[in-house]
Amino acid sequence: MMIQLVFYVFAAVLIASSAMVIFAKNPVHSVLFLILGFFNAAGLFLLAGAEFLAMILVIVYVGAVAVLFLFVVMMLDIDFARMREGLQRYAPLGAAVGGVLFAELAMAAAHWASSPVMPEPITGGLGQPGGPMTNTAALGTLLYTHYILLFQACGLVLLVAMIGAITLTLREKPTGRRQVIGKQHERMRADTLDMLTLPLGFGTDANGGFLRPAKGYYDTAVPGSYGVPAAPEPPREEVRKVDGDAP
Amino acid sequence: MPRTRLWRRSSDVEQFFFHTTTGHVVLLVLEALAILVPLLIAVAYLTLMERKVMAAMQMRRGPNVNGLFGVLQAFADAIKMMTKETIIPSGANRFLFLLAPFLTFSLAMLAWAVIPTGDGLAVANINVGILYLLAISSLGVYGILIAGWASNSKYAFLGGLRSAAQMVSYEVSIGLVIVSVLLAVGSLNLNDIILAQRHVWFCVPMFPMFIIFFISALAETNRAPFDLPEGESELVAGFFVEYSSLSFGLFFLGEYANMILMSGMVSILFLGGWLPPLGIAPLTWIPGPVWLIAKILFCLFVFIWVRATFPRYRYDQLMRLGWKVFLPFSLLWMIATAGFLLATGNLPQGVS
């Protein structure tokens, strides 16, 4: 009785928040409703006794994927009036896509069956304690034996996606400021600092202002950064005055 | 279950607490209070501890006016905070602006439900305890991100974005470190993780992972030297620049509660949780919670020590450390751990 009540609460909030994802005017609100939806889905998993899936859902989708969604959506500059413009034109197309998805889901639901290679009865049903195996172990047993090829294939697809994303966004900017960390750590105080003892009322102007280290301002730069061309000798100044004529 | 052991003598009490609905609810509330009240007091005194320890390290006195050695300073701060005016910026999204501090605070409280303070002594001793902790700590970023966005301020927004990138990056290495520990334990239950350290704490065989986890914990809680989301030199105060009075106070409490939580995670994963250092007579007489608290206090001291010692990281250095140093190293270590356990036949078999 109690379990059914909790189930309906989770399910109702899940459906309502999914609807709000589509209907919310502000895209940030949409993402926040999506997160609420994820939570309720995790709650449903918990009720079904699949606590591992529930936690993974929260960690992966809420903790990482939705953070990145939110990250991107917050930086969007959206003109709501322009967004409305295409509504009439695209509505039939959207409805068609929705219809196809719904039909597919219905077909899938009609032919739903549990895997015949399920080890033991893992969960005893809604709100019941599980069988002898925890569902983490059961899931692992199934994934790494019968479905190992599919599992590895998924991993490969993700790897390709990851490499693709890196290749698309990686740019070598000549103005970037990147250091060779090892070289930077090897620098000694004597290379970079001069201790001067000056009488009261005198600045360091008489000694040529603040001194850039004669050696090694560009030494720690990664070739091709700091605006320094990679191949030829960097344009190095022996002593650079910084306080007067800043570059 | 330790509960039944505690109440075995008085069957009336047992009847009430375990077999009536009211009793269940009352018991649940009592259990929650038993963990939350000490936690909140600990948070209050952690602020004092931080100021005192930092003062000692910088050869100052620290707060010493309110009460003996300044013990009432925390309450003076709280009263000051509560009597200030709550200001909501005119362009802010009101609901989300107020939601963010509550989110940060309540998430920091929520995670404590699964922390075992003795043998099986937790509000919820669940099978996937460590995943629950990971899930809750990965949610902490939302409070900051929402605060940054809802404030409608450049500085707050930049702080929020920095924090999101930072926390997501370091969670990856935290996850891999946890996986290496789990490989040696064979269970996701926090109590089992502690019991697996009866002979040797994991900080000995997995010392590099211990260090990586601790540094990642610093980054995850936005503490110095990784406190870029609130870098006051460039972002004023980062994501909570628009917050005042109690809403600021909730952020503050949440941040410190998260520090205690992360110290708790370090203690449980690497320092043997509630186990004494050696399983011999005089040490085993001291109850488990005392050991856990002592270990948490030690970790907190190191948190403060780090803050007093190191300058803030540059942002590109922070990202480089997370992705190019910690991630490959913890991945390598995970594979090495699995290989070693398999080769020596020590891989935990058939446990839950």
pLDDT tens digits, A52-84: 888 888 888 888 888 888 888 887 766 666 666
The total number of residues shown for chain A amounts to 247
Name which residue leads in pLDDT, A67 or B5.
A67
Could you tell me how many helices (H) and strands (E) chain B has, helices first?
15, 0
Q: What is the pLDDT of residue B18?
A: 73
Average pLDDT over residues B292-315: 89
Percent of chain B with pLDDT over 70: 94
In chain A, residues with a C-beta closer than 8 Å to the C-beta of B132 are: 55
Q: What is the pLDDT of residue B301?
A: 93
Q: What is the pLDDT of residue A45?
A: 87
- Would you call A59 and B138 a contact, using CB atoms and an 8 Å cutoff? yes
Average pLDDT over residues B142-162: 84
The total number of residues shown for chain B amounts to 352
Q: What are A's interface residues with B at a Cβ cutoff of 8 A?
A: 28, 32, 35, 51-52, 55-56, 58-59, 62-64, 67-68, 70-71, 74-75, 133-134, 136-137, 178, 181
pLDDT-based confidence at residue A150 (cuts at 50, 70, 90): very high
- Would you call A68 and B168 a contact, using CB atoms and an 8 Å cutoff? yes
Q: What is the pLDDT of residue A212?
A: 57
pTM, rounded to two decimals: 0.80
Report long-range pairs for B252-255 (Cβ below 8 Å, ≥24 apart). B252/B47, B252/B81, B253/B40, B253/B43, B253/B105, B253/B108, B254/B101, B254/B104, B254/B105, B254/B107, B254/B108, B254/B140, B254/B143, B255/B104, B255/B108, B255/B221, B255/B222
Q: What is the pLDDT of residue B142?
A: 86
Give the residue from B168, B176, B327 with the most A CB atoms within 10 Å of its CB, the best one to mutate: B168
Distance, in angstroms, between A91 CA and closest chain B CA?
A: 31
Distance, in angstroms, between A66 CA and closest chain B CA?
A: 10
- DSSP code of residue A212: P
Query: Which pLDDT tens digit goes with each residue over B42-95?
Result: 988 898 889 889 999 988 888 888 878 888 888 888 888 888 888 888 877 788
Q: Are B217 and B300 in contact (CB under 8 A)?
A: no
Query: Residue A136 above 80 pLDDT?
Result: no
- Would you call A62 and B139 a contact, using CB atoms and an 8 Å cutoff? yes
Q: What is the pLDDT of residue A229?
A: 56
Query: Residue B192 above 80 pLDDT?
Result: yes
Percent of chain A with pLDDT over 70: 68
- Would you call A63 and B145 a contact, using CB atoms and an 8 Å cutoff? no
Of B127, B161, B171, the CB nearest to A51: B127
On the 0-12 / 13-18 / 19+ scale of CB atoms within 10 A, A20 is: middle
Retrieve residue B164's tokens.
């999101």
Name which residue leads in pLDDT, B80 or A176.
B80
Greatest mean pLDDT among A74-78, A120-124, B230-234: A74-78
For tokens 């909790």, the residue is A6
- Would you call B138 and A62 a contact, using CB atoms and an 8 Å cutoff? yes
- DSSP code of residue A63: I
Mean pLDDT over each residue of chain B, to the nearest integer: 83
Of B128, B157, B168, the CB nearest to A51: B128
Report the SS3 class of residue A77.
coil
Q: What is the pLDDT of residue B150?
A: 85
Query: Residue A119 above 50 pLDDT?
Result: no
Average pLDDT over residues B253-269: 90
In chain B, residues with a C-beta closer than 8 Å to the C-beta of A136 are: 127-128, 188, 352
Q: What type of residue sits at position B235?
A: L
Distances (CA, A) of A235 to A172, A209, A217, A224: 20, 21, 11, 13
Q: What is the pLDDT of residue B284?
A: 75
Extract the runs of DSSP E, i.e. beta strands, from B74-132.
Answer: none
Average pLDDT over residues B242-255: 84
* Residue from B190, B231, B206, B223 nearest B301 by CA: B223
* Residue from A223, A239, A217 nearest A172 by CA: A223
Query: Residue A100 above 90 pLDDT?
Result: yes
Of A52, A70, A181, the CB nearest to B128: A52
CA A45 to CA B10: how far, in whole Å?
38
In chain B, residues with a C-beta closer than 8 Å to the C-beta of A133 are: 352
pLDDT-based confidence at residue A152 (cuts at 50, 70, 90): very high
- DSSP code of residue B285: T
Q: What is the pLDDT of residue B352?
A: 42
Query: Residue A128 above 60 pLDDT?
Result: no
* Residue from B272, B257, B112, B130 nearest B200 by CA: B272
Name which residue leads in pLDDT, B311 or B228.
B311
CA B251 to CA B242: how far, in whole Å?
12
Give the CA count within 13 Å in the CB-facing half-sphere of B195.
Answer: 12
C-beta neighbour count of B323 within 10 angstroms: 14
